[in-house]
Amino acid sequence: MSLDVLLTGAYGRVGTAIIDNLVGTEEYSFTLLDRTDHESHDTFQADVADLEAIRPAFENQDAVYHLAGYPETDGTYQEVLENNIIGTYNALEAAREGEVETFVFASTNHVVGMYEVENAPEIYYPDFGLLVDHTSTRRPDSYYGTSKSFGEDLGRYYVENFDYPKQFYALRIASVRHSEYDHPYGDAEHGVDRGDWERGSEQYETMVARMKAMWQSRRDHAHMVEQCIKDDDVEFDVFYGVSDNDRRWFDIDHAREVIDYEPRDNGEEWDSPPE
């Protein structure tokens, strides 16, 4: 018997990692919600800022992975208010009304982003000596990071004060990229393709160093989400979405212990971009 799962913001770079790895498997039946249609998938077309529009999509779902929102640190207060704060409230309220048991929330490393801001670029290199875990003080680096911190708190409020959702998983995602750039050289190569810098330049090498710490492969991210959906024990918890990178400064032992997260990838195993 498959689980019914709603995926909001389905066609973004993280949502497509779920589509590529989990949609179409026997274990899950996905409903894909997005503001835009897609030629290859049936889409529940709606904006999470509109509660009435999204409410029907939450009916008869076992779980939701809530990705929809403004995804960048350059977001203004108004952008994150509509898409992230109101949108997350609407998603939680629709889950409550639809009696959805499991709510997986796409949070962000930018909830603790000031640790990177204060220590970059030294933090990108091995043996820096900082480890940020689920107990570390939240230090948002932007309106975007602040909006995701709010979403985590709102999720905790819902699971502790309402019958549904019963479980809330906050995933502080590090760096998940589109398929073309799904490797630790991805951001550096993307910059070359845009004309921002040349391959081998100081900027290029700094981006490689950062991604070797921050990268979460698409398959590792899908695996983490699946472990949350399958879990029956957590009421509320926070996990860092990052692969098993040697130089990462985010903890994954907590995810290993609680949801049996077993990432397959490590940025250090790459010494050049794919051909």
Q: Which residues does residue 168 pair with via DSSP β-bridges, in sequence order?
A: 103, 236
Picking from 10, 94, 5, the residue whose alpha carbon sits closest to that of residue 52 is: 94
Among residues 144, 164, 240, 261, which one is catalytic?
A: 144
SS3 category, 65: strand
Where are any strands of DSSP class E within 133-262? Answer: 167-173, 236-241
144 is known as an active-site residue: yes
How far apart (Å, rounded) are the C-alpha atoms in residues 242 and 231?
Answer: 19
- Beta-carbon contacts of 51 under 8 Å, excluding residues fewer than 6 positions away, are 90, 93, 94
Picking from 61, 86, 67, the residue whose alpha carbon sits closest to that of residue 8 is: 67
**Count of other CB atoms within 10 angstroms of residue 50:** 13
Q: Between helices 87-98 and 143-161, what is the axis angle to 10°? A: 20
For the purposes of burial, counting CB atoms within 10 Å of the CB of 64, is it exposed (0-12), middle (13-18) or buried (19 or more)? buried
Kindly list the catalytic residues. 144
